[in-house]
Amino acid sequence: MSIHLICTTCGTQSAAAPDPPPRCAICDDVRQYVPASGQSWTTLEALRRSHRNSFQRMEPGLLGIGTTPEFAIGQRALLLQSTDGNVLWDCISLVDDATIDLLNGLGGVSAIAISHPHYYTTMIEWSRAFGNAPVLLHEGDRQWVQRHDPVIELWSGATRPLFGGATLIHCGGHFAGGTALHWRDGAGGRGVLLTGDILQVAMDRRHVSFLRSYPNMIPLSRAAVERIAGAVRPFAFERIYGAFWDRDIESDAHEAVERSLRRYITGIENVDPDA
């Protein structure tokens, strides 16, 4: 019998197969890692028995969804609500009946958009749970899709308008197809940016940073980070919501990106900031 296995390190679900894959292509990449204990797999059914999802209202119209105990990378998903439909931003591996019931009570999910391959997880299961909602991925990351399905829609170009005042922005950087989502109506109309870790919110919550690999600490070039900052610069945003709980910039986020860009360039070009 063929089953869809989930990598316990990155949370990505593979195509159905009678035997476990020899490796996880996502973790085998330089941006991720296979732990010293080796490759291991689980199933969605097993995950439903051992874990549950928790929820937090981030602001009116934005709901955070995370798994407890923490699983794999530990990111959260975000549900952006609007009268035109709801967008699920990024995915987590666990989708269960309680989560489906709660989100259906909030209007369901009309589309799923994902920042980069580390958060593809069980995106096809999420789509199935909400009536085959389209899964929007930038074409730059097509090679990283581990479970192909007709619900996946590859988009191209610099931006992709959605509904409810949302726009997908192609940033690149961490992955070739790295994407952020701009929500025009967030923060009381001042704008919000959902970044995954394409722009990673720093622990001081006053800066972001940009890396090719976070666990392996591989930097990006000046040109790459300037492209990322340049992609989001035309959009107004007061806040940034990052990939993890409590990794948000609550105010003046647009300037925080510019300030972070300057700091990053100073660091990689070995300029003594105290000189």
Measured N-to-C along each axis, helices 222-232 and 253-268 cross at an angle, to the nearest 10 degrees, of: 170
Segment 160-196, tens digit of pLDDT = 999 999 999 999 999 999 999 999 999 999 999 999 9
**Among candidate residues 4, 192, 29, the one with its CA nearest the CA of residue 117:** 29
The confidence score (pLDDT) of residue 272 equals 67
The confidence score (pLDDT) of residue 21 equals 86
Q: Tell me the mean pLDDT in the region 244-249.
A: 97
Segment 103-114, tens digit of pLDDT = 999 999 999 999
Segment 134-161, tens digit of pLDDT = 999 999 999 999 999 999 999 999 999 9
d(CA 46, CA 121) in angstroms, rounded, equals 15
Write phi, then psi, for 78 (nearest 5 degrees).
-135, 130
The confidence score (pLDDT) of residue 84 equals 96
d(CA 252, CA 220) in angstroms, rounded, equals 24
H helices of 41-168, where? 44-50, 97-105, 123-129
Q: pLDDT grade, residue 274 (50/70/90)?
A: low
Report the run of H or E that residue 110 belongs to, with start and end: none
pLDDT score of 273 more than 70: no
pLDDT score of 262 more than 60: yes
Segment 87-104, tens digit of pLDDT = 999 999 999 999 999 999
Look over the chain and give the mean of its residue pLDDT values, rounded to a whole number.
96
Domains along the chain? 6-268 (3.60.15.10)
Q: pLDDT grade, residue 1 (50/70/90)?
A: confident
Segment 31-53, tens digit of pLDDT = 999 999 999 999 999 999 999 99
Q: pLDDT grade, residue 2 (50/70/90)?
A: confident
Share of the chain above pLDDT 90, in %: 94
Segment 117-136, tens digit of pLDDT = 999 999 999 999 999 999 99
